[in-house]
């Protein structure tokens, strides 16, 4: 979640600043955590980078015109290089291999099994694969990644209820404000809020009122963000080094 909201917010800021100067850039994220497969996730995540790798690496290697085995190899090579593009470290290399392997599996045998899953189960599968991948991406070493994955595994083995259950553990460590922020983050990570706003703001009866209310709310939020940012210490974006 940290990587998504940090980088998606960074991209939205760039898009907004571009529009202030008359430039229109396409969205860089299209609700990737609503995806039902890893293939769909990478069509929605960091679209500019995915498009660049597709146009300048995957297609020159042969793209989808090659036989199935060569096509899978091309896809795997692209994601290995994508991992190394983020940094010349073992964790990024393993992350690229990990992502490429799941993409190849979905293009071959795994997709048949995934297609039989109900929508909610396919989303859980995708989220689980992505979360494990982010542990590799954020860790400084492979040993650190394994320690985090082991901790996640032990947490999942705990009962949900009881004094030592997952719910009680989270309740003791997360206050109400953080809990509400997490709930809001989950809701706004899906496409439904954006579709609802777009549908309502296009209604003819709101043409006169909605733009004023929308612009006023945006101005208030803009200054609130400036005040909030000025009151805290500087924290660079996670993706600044890339």
In order along its 242 residues, the chain shows pLDDT tens digits of 678 888 888 888 888 889 888 888 888 998 898 899 999 999 999 999 999 999 999 999 988 888 888 988 999 999 999 999 988 889 999 999 999 999 999 888 777 787 788 888 999 999 999 999 999 998 999 999 999 888 877 766 666 555 555 556 556 656 666 666 667 766 666 666 666 666 665 555 555 556 777 678 878 888 887 887 777 666 666 665 55
Write the CB contacts of 95 (distance below 8 Å, at least 6 apart in sequence).
Answer: 83, 86, 133, 136, 137
86 part of the active site: yes
Rounded to whole angstroms, how far apart are CA atoms 46 and 82?
12
CB half-sphere exposure, 148, CA atoms < 13 A: 15
Pick the catalytic residue from 24, 31, 46, 86: 86
Q: What per-residue confidence (pLDDT) applies to 14?
A: 87
Backbone phi and psi for residue 168, each to the nearest 5 degrees, phi listed first = -65, -40
pTM of the predicted model as reported, rounded to 2 decimal places = 0.75
Q: Residue holding tokens 């799941």? A: 102
Angle at 185 between CA 177 and CA 132, to 5 degrees: 115
């Amino acid at each position: 979640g940290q990587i998504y909201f940090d980088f998606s917010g960074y991209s939205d800021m760039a898009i907004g600043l571009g529009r202030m100067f008359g430039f229109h850039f396409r969205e860089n994220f299209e609700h990737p955590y609503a995806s039902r497969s890893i293939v769909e996730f990478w069509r929605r995540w960091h679209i500019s980078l995915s498009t660049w790798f597709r146009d300048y690496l995957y297609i020159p290697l042969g793209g989808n015109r090659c036989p199935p085995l060569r096509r899978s190899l091309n896809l795997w090579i692209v994601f290995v290089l994508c991992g190394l593009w983020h940094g010349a470290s073992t964790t990024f290399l393993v992350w690229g291999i990990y992502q490429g392997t799941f993409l190849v599996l979905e293009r071959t045998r795994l997709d048949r099994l995934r297609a039989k899953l109900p929508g909610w189960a396919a989303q859980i599968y995708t989220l689980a694969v992505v979360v494990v991948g982010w542990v590799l991406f954020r860790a400084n070493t492979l040993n650190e990644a394994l320690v985090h994955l082991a901790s996640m595994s032990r947490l999942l083995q705990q009962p949900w209820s009881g004094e030592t259950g997952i719910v009680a553990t989270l309740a003791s460590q997360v206050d109400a404000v953080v809990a509400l922020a997490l709930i809001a983050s989950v809701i706004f990570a899906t496409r439904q809020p954006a579709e609802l706003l777009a549908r309502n703001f296009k209604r003819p009866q709101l043409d006169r009122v909605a733009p004023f209310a929308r612009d006023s709310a945006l101005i208030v939020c803009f200054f609130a963000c400036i005040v909030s940012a000025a009151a805290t210490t500087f924290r660079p974006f996670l993706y600044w080094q890339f």
